[in-house]
Amino acid sequence: HLSAALPVYNVQGEIVSWAGTLTDIHEQKETQRQKDDFLGIASHELKTPVTSIKAYTQVLEQMLRRSGDSRKADMVLKMDQQLNRLTNLISDLLDVTKIHTGKLQFNNDAFDFNEMVSEIMEDMQRTTTRHVVIGRLAGTVMLYGDKFRLGQVVTNLVSNAIKYAPAGGEIIVSSRVSDGGITLSVKDFGIGISGDKKERVFEQFYRVSGDKQQTFPGLGLGLYISREIIARAGGRIWVESEQGEGSTFSFSLPLTVVS
């Protein structure tokens, strides 16, 4: 059982009684476990057909392209891009279940951190014409850690920068080495985040509800997963932002990342 009590004051500010709640934590844990089980099974079951459809659309697109039917090929390419979004949503859900159940795996190896960042920047640049992704990276920096998982964080931050700077502009990705650690920052000049919401963006399912007409798609999981990965790698992640001016998301890691 989990109990919590709050004092009840009189007008003189003296405590006159306590109001308590008693919660059956076993029941809560069981409900949470059932939710995680469901989320795990559902996202796993969704993943298989989507992967198969994706393979067919890619073949179909190539066939149409070769036969010279570029209009149809473009339509299939659009389908493929939407399937990418679906795949990403499903793998975010799978990751959240893994985090909840302590099953997020890390496969550590030595790799060049800045090279990994450059590759991701090139990939991301291909997805946008309105943004210029600029790199200010400090040469070769060898790191021991999970390249895939840390890359996932970089991809999250750069794709958020693209998404939340709808008018376009520069996205500056910079890295610097100091005190046995490396810090990576992703700066955009987009909508920004107001003061009280800055800390909350790393919570799961938290999304800033916009007062503007425009709505941005998403589940509110990317930054939660990112924070978890960075914490597991022994680092920290934070944001600096002014509403309407843009945001800078940064994380720092020790050079020997172990988990």
Q: Burial, 136: exposed, middle or buried (Cβ in 10 Å; 0-12, 13-18, 19+)?
A: exposed
CA atoms of 237 and 247, how far apart (whole Å): 13
Find the binder of ligand ADP among 42, 53, 219, 255 (CB under 6 A).
219
Q: Which stretch binds ligand ADP (CB under 6 A): 13-21, 73-81, 115-123, 190-198?
A: 190-198
Q: Which stretch binds ligand ADP (CB under 6 A): 4-12, 93-101, 107-115, 218-226?
A: 218-226
Q: Which stretch binds ligand ADP (CB under 6 A): 48-56, 106-114, 171-179, 212-220?
A: 212-220
* Number of Cβ within a 10 Å radius of residue 100: 16
229 near ligand ADP, rule: CB under 6 A: no
Integer-rounded Cα radius of gyration of the chain: 22
Shorter beta-carbon distance to ligand ADP: residue 65 or 198: 198
Q: Which stretch binds ligand ADP (CB under 6 A): 39-47, 75-83, 139-147, 206-214?
A: 206-214
161 near ligand ADP, rule: CB under 6 A: yes
111 near ligand ADP, rule: CB under 6 A: no
188 near ligand ADP, rule: CB under 6 A: yes
CA atoms of 232 and 104, how far apart (whole Å): 10
Q: Which two tokens stand for residue 97?
A: 């279940």
CA atoms of 237 and 52, how far apart (whole Å): 35
Contacts with ligand ADP: how many residues (CB under 6 A)?
21
191 near ligand ADP, rule: CB under 6 A: yes
Shorter beta-carbon distance to ligand ADP: residue 182 or 193: 193
201 near ligand ADP, rule: CB under 6 A: yes
Q: Residue 139: left if φ>0, alpha if ψ -120 to 50, beta else—which one? A: left
Find the binder of ligand ADP among 172, 173, 221, 237 (CB under 6 A).
221
DSSP collapsed to 3 states, 164-225: CCCCCEEEEEEEEEECCEEEEEEEECCCCCCHHHCCHHHCCCCCCCCCCCCCCCCCCCHHHH
Q: Which stretch binds ligand ADP (CB under 6 A): 48-56, 109-117, 121-129, 213-221?
A: 213-221
Angle, alpha carbons 159-195-242 (nearest 5°): 55
Shorter beta-carbon distance to ligand ADP: residue 161 or 253: 161
DSSP string covering 83-124: HHHHHHHHHHHHHHHHHHTT------EEEEHHHHHHHHHHHH
The site for ligand ADP (CB under 6 A) is made up of 156, 160-161, 164, 188, 190-193, 201, 206-208, 218-224, 247
